[in-house]
Amino acid sequence: MFLLRRAIRFALSLVLVVLASFAMLHLIPGDPVRAALGPTAPREAVEQRRAELGLDRPWPEQLKTYLGKVATGDFGESFLSRQPAGQVIADRLPATVQLVAVTMALALLVAVPLGMAMAARTHGGRGRRTELAFTSVTGGLSVVPEFLLAVGMIALFGVTLRWLPVAGKDGAASFVMPVLALAAGPAALLARLVRVETLRELSSDYVRLARAKRVPAVRLYLRHLLPNTLTAALTTGGLLLSSLLGGSVVVEYVFQWPGLGGTTVEAIAGKDYALAQAAILVYGAISLTVVFAVDVALGLLDPRSRPRMLG
């Protein structure tokens, strides 16, 4: 029942994204084809292109064609290169997914243990200095924009120390800087959240009872606390993942990563509307899928969330 509700909501959101990507082309003031081909293009060329794209037909018919095409995986072709947009995306998407997946894994692996350790260290008002240092550092990191970290790291590790490659995607070393630039903010936010959640759980009665049972500390944290804090960590992690997608666009641009982000920026700057439309559709669908997947995972993981979500 809960799954069904989530699935319906997911499907509706997807439809919304498809409609928005369709509407995009029609919301652009003026003629997108004219804008893409430039003011010097001959009128016949523009007219011909419009006809090719079906833009001269009434919009309900266009919508029907568009929906049919999207359903069969046909995203049209790039205004500029005339390559199929689906092909361009299929070429570029894997690099983006790799970058984001590695980043997310790193952020979780660092943030959850760090947050729990900090909670253990600062529980009940002890370790004031540790607490201040932790909150200041993570607070700062969580607002520093990705591009600043990226530029700083390029200047330091790439140009001055020459330890790491400054751009492109070529082997494990090329992942280091993009992943760090992208992971710092989310990891900091997540670590803060895990700490706060763990602190709250630490003062609960079941932890007191577990302590009364003299459960060893490792077991207390891993078996008793972790499942209870993971819910919040995953919820936020899911939202962070979709913001990571946004951040990845910038990081890809700065590091000239051969992913979808760079292509999207080029497409928007170059008024290649068909490609931009397809890219935004794909990004939207991915972030919705992520949120949906996290929701479902939470529902299955946390026995309490099931009845609550029914209500």
Among 3, 8, 109, 148, binds other proteins (CB under 8 A): 148
| C-alpha–C-alpha distance, residues 234 and 247, integer Å | 19
81: Cβ contacts below 8 Å, ≥ 6 apart: 88, 272
307: its two tokens: 């009845």
Measured in degrees and rounded to the nearest 5, phi and psi for residue 56 equal -90, -5
CB of 129 to other proteins, least distance (A): 12
CB of 38 to other proteins, least distance (A): 14
Number of residues that bind other proteins (CB under 8 A): 76
132: its two tokens: 């201040």
Contact 194, 119 (CB under 8 A): yes
Residues 28-67, one symbol each (x = binds other proteins by CB under 8 A, - = not), give xx--------------------------------------
Judged by CB under 8 A, the chain residues 249 through 288 that form the site for other proteins are 249-250, 253-254, 264-265, 268-269, 273, 276, 280, 283-284, 287-288
Task: Closer to other proteins by CB, 68 or 139: give it.
Answer: 139
How far, rounded to the nearest angstrom, does the alpha carbon of residue 115 sit from its chain's CA centroid? 22
CB of 303 to other proteins, least distance (A): 4
Measured in degrees and rounded to the nearest 5, phi and psi for residue 84 equal -65, 130
Among 63, 164, 215, 296, binds other proteins (CB under 8 A): 215
Task: Closer to other proteins by CB, 64 or 206: give it.
Answer: 206
Strand partners for 84? 77
Residues 77-116, one symbol each (x = binds other proteins by CB under 8 A, - = not), give ----------------------------------------
If phi > 0 it is left, if psi is from -120 to 50 it is alpha, else beta; for residue 213 that is alpha
| C-alpha–C-alpha distance, residues 77 and 84, integer Å | 4
Residues 7-26, one symbol each (x = binds other proteins by CB under 8 A, - = not), give --x--xx--x---x---x--
Among 147, 293, 297, 299, binds other proteins (CB under 8 A): 147
Closest to 290 (Cα-Cα) out of 246, 236, 241: 241
Task: Closer to other proteins by CB, 57 or 219: give it.
Answer: 219
Among 46, 97, 176, 210, binds other proteins (CB under 8 A): 210
Residues 217-246, one symbol each (x = binds other proteins by CB under 8 A, - = not), give --x---xx--xx----------x--xxxxx
CB of 194 to other proteins, least distance (A): 15
CB of 212 to other proteins, least distance (A): 4
Please report whether residue 169 would count as binding other proteins according to CB under 8 A: no
CB of 180 to other proteins, least distance (A): 16
CA angle in degrees (0–180, nearest 5) for 216-222-225: 100
Please report whether residue 174 would count as binding other proteins according to CB under 8 A: no
* DSSP per residue, 241-303: HHHHHHHHHHHHHHHT-SSHHHHHHHHHHTT-HHHHHHHHHHHHHHHHHHHHHHHHHHHHH-T
Please report whether residue 143 would count as binding other proteins according to CB under 8 A: yes
How far, rounded to the nearest angstrom, does the alpha carbon of residue 101 sit from its chain's CA centroid? 9
Looking at residue 134, the DSSP 8-state letter turns out to be H
Question: Which SS3 state, helix, strand or coil, does residue 77 take?
Answer: strand
CB of 143 to other proteins, least distance (A): 4
